[in-house]
């Protein structure tokens, strides 16, 4: 089981090394323990969790990686707009260059499942199939380095095609309302 730790305090980068390890995602507002100014990262990280623009893959959920990237870019833009030198540098460590963080969500899946439970039975079935396919794509991406490239591409193409078909079915169903 993977877990995530998010520390948005100043000097939070000091937590990276001691907490890093397999199946762990560590997010800090600063890269080192020496960055002691009050960081702005937390504001934008929380904003990302409810922002459609942070949801780059448009799956209706914001992953830790998406929230991190959104917040880091907002911090940089804020400093540039004010004409200040960037004094905070957020960091993300998951041991897999963001691949694990891209599969983790701070909002529990049950919140998405609860919304699906209120849907008509036909739509609920499609939503559950879509969620299953998304989990399979995430699992496959985590195994990429250990797979034959041709097999990985073939499996990814199959899953993404099925996912596209389910997504279209959901949109078609919702368009009939």
Indicate the pTM of the whole model: 0.73
Per the CB < 8 A criterion, the answer to whether 159 and 143 are in contact is: no
Per-residue confidence (pLDDT) for residue 141, from 0 to 100: 83
CA distances (Å), 46 to each of 41, 60, 72, in order?
Answer: 9, 16, 12
Q: Are 159 and 133 in contact (CB under 8 A)?
A: yes
From the list 139, 133, 138, the residue with the least C-alpha distance to 163 is: 133
Which tokens is 120 given?
């008509």
pLDDT for the residue numbered 60: 78
Per-residue pLDDT tens for 25-57?
999 999 999 998 999 999 999 999 988 899 998
CA distance 137 to 139: 5
Cα separation, 118 vs 114, in Å, equals: 7
Condensed to tens digits (0 to 9), the pLDDT of residues 128-156 reads: 898 889 889 888 887 888 899 999 999 99
Rounded to a whole number of angstroms, the CA Rg of the chain reads 19
Q: Where are the domains of the chain?
A: 3-103, 109-175
In whole angstroms, what is the distance from residue 48 CA to residue 74 CA?
Answer: 10
Q: Where are the alpha helices (DSSP H) in 50-148?
A: 64-82, 109-117, 121-143
Mean pLDDT of the 104-117 span: 66
**What pLDDT score was predicted for residue 12?**
96
Return mean pLDDT, the chain: 89
């Amino acid at each position: 089981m993977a877990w995530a730790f998010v520390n948005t305090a100043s000097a939070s980068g000091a937590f990276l090394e001691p907490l890093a390890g397999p199946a762990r995602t560590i997010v800090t507002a600063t890269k080192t323990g020496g960055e002691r100014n009050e960081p702005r990262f937390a504001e934008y990280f929380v904003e990302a969790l409810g922002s459609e623009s942070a949801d780059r893959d448009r799956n209706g959920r914001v992953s830790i990686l998406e929230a991190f990237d959104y917040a880091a870019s907002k911090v940089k833009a804020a400093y540039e707009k004010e004409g200040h030198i960037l004094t905070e540098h957020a960091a993300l460590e998951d041991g897999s260059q963001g691949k694990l963080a891209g599969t983790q969500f701070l909002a529990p899946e049950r919140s998405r499942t609860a919304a699906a439970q209120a849907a008509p039975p036909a739509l609920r079935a499609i939503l559950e199939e879509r969620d299953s396919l998304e989990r399979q794509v995430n699992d496959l991406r985590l195994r990429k380095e250990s797979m034959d490239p041709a097999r990985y591409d073939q499996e990814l193409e199959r899953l993404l095609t099925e996912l596209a078909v389910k997504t279209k079915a959901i949109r078609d169903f919702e368009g009939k309302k």
